[in-house]
Amino acid sequence: MKVSYWYNNRDIRIAEEPVPEPGPQEMLIKVHSCGICGSDIVEWYRLPRAPLVQGHELGGEVVQVGSAVKKFKPGDRVVIAPKVPCMDCYYCRKGHYPQCSQVKERLPGGFAEYISVPTELVDRGAFHLPGHVTYDQGTFIEPLACVIRALRLADLQPGQNVLVLGCGMSGLLTVKYAKTKSAKVLAADINEKRLEQAGEAGADHTFNAEGDLASLMLEQTGKKADLVMLCTSALPAVEQAWQCLDKGGAVIFFAVPDPDKQVVVPINEFWRQEIRILTSYYCGPEDLNEALELISSGRIEVEDMITHVLPLKEIEKGFNLVREGKDSLKVIIRPNE
């Protein structure tokens, strides 16, 4: 089978390997679709583990199951979580599932024709994909679940002003999800095409981020944002987040700047205003279930965000499209085409 090894964003190699043989509690998946996540191109995060097979947003078909697997059978359509919490450690008991200290098995990278799903993920991280949901649509379940968790941590409430900074794929998912919660959504970006897409996704107001964003918000809505979702790592956006936040509000760092970039927090001002600064990484089981239901029911449409579908041999082109971020939103790799 063909598999893609990532060395860095400009060095991605296609290799030939044997098709893995699943153990008694494992199953073999034929990968039909796998999305390129924004985190896949973050070299400071990925390079320490390079070379590696990336790809954690996937939809696939069960082609073989181990003798002890009862939940799935060949022909089943599935999506697989990248990892699952134990639900019993200190962090899981407190609801911090992404910080689970007992995670031992992770999903093999989906930028390959086939993967063998480990036991823990077969048991608790594999989900049946309804027949009317395409494999391409299935690649949005995990990223949407991550958005759901971030806004749940921030205690999103109906009627709140939610400002989304950065209208890439995660930003648009934030717009769409916040609208299902009856929030007033404002979106900002420096890319006019993405602002147009944010409006189509349901944003009540869109702003070019190169302007005086705080003043524009006040002019249009009469108040600042209750929640600011940072879906970009750009430092100017962090400064805008501070300026656009209302008293008692929260900033969610969904994306973070590079480790060598300093973020200065106006803590004295925030101390008086009871501002919360939150981070959100990954998702939990309840978030994955909610994301699957929202996409399956059609309450959140994702097909309109797919801009490129490429075969595995063109994966380097796909990474370039995501890295440049000009003409792409969701880039999907189909390893078996």
State how far the Cα of 195 lies from the Cα of 164, in Å rounded to an integer: 11
Q: Identify which of 235, 315, 223, 231 has the alpha carbon closest to the alpha carbon of residue 33.
A: 315
Structure-block tokens of residue 288: 């994955």
pLDDT of 104: 84
pLDDT beyond 90 at 62: yes
pLDDT of 169: 96
Q: What value does the mean pLDDT take over residues 252-276? A: 95
State how far the Cα of 319 lies from the Cα of 316, in Å rounded to an integer: 5
The residues, ordered by sequence, that sit 6+ positions from 193 with a Cβ below 8 Å of its Cβ are 327
Flag the least confident range among 3-12, 142-151, 325-334.
Answer: 325-334
Contact 73, 126 (CB under 8 A): no
Quick: pLDDT tens for 89-115.
Answer: 999 999 999 999 999 889 999 999 999
Which residues does residue 101 pair with via DSSP β-bridges, in sequence order?
A: none
**pLDDT > 90: what percent of the chain?**
97
Quick: pLDDT tens for 22-33.
Answer: 999 999 999 999
Within 10 angstroms of residue 34's Cβ, the number of other Cβ atoms is 29
State how far the Cα of 138 lies from the Cα of 148, in Å rounded to an integer: 16
SS3 letters across 178-198: HHHCCCEEEEEECCHHHHHHH
pLDDT of 39: 94
Average pLDDT, the chain: 96
pLDDT of 268: 94
State how far the Cα of 6 lies from the Cα of 39, in Å rounded to an integer: 13
pLDDT tier at 325 (50, 70, 90 boundaries)?
Answer: confident
Q: How far is CA 25 from the centre of its chain?
A: 28
pLDDT beyond 90 at 326: no
Quick: pLDDT tens for 155-213.
Answer: 999 999 999 999 999 999 999 999 999 999 999 999 999 999 999 999 999 999 999 99
State how far the Cα of 183 lies from the Cα of 195, in Å rounded to an integer: 18
Domains and CATH numbers, the chain: 2-140+302-334 (3.90.180.10), 146-279 (3.40.50.720)
**pLDDT > 70: what percent of the chain?**
100
Flag the least confident range among 58-62, 98-102, 241-245.
Answer: 98-102
pLDDT beyond 90 at 258: yes
The residues, ordered by sequence, that sit 6+ positions from 60 with a Cβ below 8 Å of its Cβ are 29, 30, 31, 32, 33, 77, 78, 79, 80, 110, 115, 135
pLDDT beyond 90 at 65: yes
Q: How are the residues of the chain apportioned to helix, strand and coil, as percentages rounded to the nearest 5?
A: 35, 25, 40
> Would you call the peptide bond into 24 cis, given omega within 30 degrees of 0 as the criterion?
no
Structure-block tokens of residue 106: 């992770």
